[in-house]
Amino acid sequence: MPGRFDPAPGWTPDQPLVVIDDVHKSFGTVEVLKGISLSVHKGDAACIIGPSGSGKSTLIRCVNALVPFQRGSIKVLGIEVKDPKLDKLRLRKHVGMVFQQYNLFPHRTALQNVMMAPIKVLKRPRKEVEAEAYKLLKKVRLDGKEHAYPGELSGGQQQRVAIARSLAMQPDLMLFDEVTAALDPETVKEVLITIRELAEEGMTCILVTHEMGFAREVANHIYFTDRGVIVEHGPAAEFFSSPRDPRTRAFLSQIL
């Protein structure tokens, strides 16, 4: 779509899409992020793994400015998230987010959920948006469910609607916050397949996940966090086959 892509001046596509630099974040007196740095290039699928409470979700919530952080910098397409004068709408046009609890709007059908933001936020014509929404729901294999309300769909189906809803904003980056954690085991797979297809199409993704098998399969880079720091990171294959840090080893042996 013309005019959609508006990175900060000076940002070029050869630079990382997301640069997280020494981010510190506290809730009251509890410091949950203690200097996190990482960068994600266009087309990358970065997985953040680690024990509960290690700050993974908080980190990706910082990336789309859902929560503020105290110190450090996050740049998305060169747009500084920490900037007090940040145009949040501009940032969020670039960043899609999918939540653990789906958070679909229960008073709207699947199709309406997908159409709402492009119409109300991007002010795009309804006809055009509707045609796209049908395509997106087909893409996540929910054709036929367009007029179902979230309450009539299974967890896995709802989560796929949520993915389609984010994609409708045509983001450059997708954030997945433990999107399968609330799902029944049998529906996890259909969601993971959808995400894998997205990653394979070249969508830049940051995933917080507990699905190690999936992380190994989809991610090209793994970050292992514990107590607010990145303990170890590396290419997926290497990370899983030969973890160096004892904490990583302990964690992997528990999980795998």
Partner 1 sequence: MTQPVRGGMPVILRLPEVLRADNARTLPPLRLSLWHGAALGGFVLMTSIAAGSATGPVPPASVLVVLARWTPLLLRGFGFNILISFTAMAIGTVLGAFLGLGLISVSRAVRAAAWALTQFFRNAPWLVLLFFMIYMLPFHVQLGGLGISIPDWLKAVIGLALPVMANVAEVVRGGVQSIPSGQWEAAESLGFTRTQQLWEIILPQSIKRMIPPWMNLYAILTMATTLAAIVGVSEVVTLAGQVQAAEGNRTDLLAPLYGYVLLFFFFYSYPIAWLTLRLERRYAVRL
**Does residue 67 belong to the site contacting partner 1 (CB under 8 A)?**
yes
Pick the closer one to partner 1 by CB: 17 or 168.
Answer: 168
Nearer to partner 1, 161 or 222 (CB): 161
Quote the least distance from Cβ 230 to partner 1, whole Å: 16
Task: State the CB neighbour count (10 A cutoff) for residue 221.
Answer: 20
Contact 160, 191 (CB under 8 A): yes
Tally the C-alpha atoms within 13 A of residue 28's C-alpha that lie toward its C-beta. Answer: 1
Which of 15/101 has CB closer to partner 1?
Answer: 101
C-alpha closest to that of 94 among 53, 135, 65, 51 = 65
Bridge-based pairing state of the strands 173-177 and 95-98: parallel
- Shortest gap between Cβ of 65 and partner 1 (angstroms)? 6
**Among positions 20, 36, 49, 104, the unique one binding partner 1 when judged by CB under 8 A:** 104
Residue written as token pair 């397949």: 193
Q: In terms of CB distance, is 40 or 63 closer to partner 1?
A: 63
Smaller CB separation from partner 1, 38 or 65: 65
Q: Name the pairing type of β-strands 229-235 and 221-226.
A: antiparallel
What is the closest distance, in whole angstroms, from the C-beta atom of residue 97 to partner 1 in the complex?
Answer: 4
Residue 213 binding partner 1, by CB under 8 A: no
Output the smallest distance, CB 93 to partner 1, in A: 6
- Residue 37 phi/psi, 5° resolution? -130, 130
Residue 66 or 193 having the CB closest to partner 1: 66
Q: Does the footprint of partner 1 cover residue 160 (CB under 8 A)?
A: no
Residue from 106, 213, 235, 246 in contact with partner 1 (CB under 8 A): 106
Does 58 interact with partner 1 (rule: CB under 8 A)? yes
- Site stretch for partner 1 (CB under 8 A), options 88-96, 130-138, 152-160, 189-197: 88-96
Indicate the residue among 19 and 66 with the shorter CB distance to partner 1.
66
| Using rule CB under 8 A, residue 57 touches partner 1 | yes
Q: What angle do CA 20, 24, 28 make, to 5 degrees?
A: 145
Establish if 229 lies at the interface with partner 1 (CB under 8 A): no
Among 49, 99, 160, 228, binds partner 1 (CB under 8 A): 99
Name the site residues for partner 1 (rule: CB under 8 A): 27, 52-58, 64-68, 88-89, 92-93, 95-97, 99-101, 103-107, 116-117, 120-122, 162, 165-166, 169, 178, 208
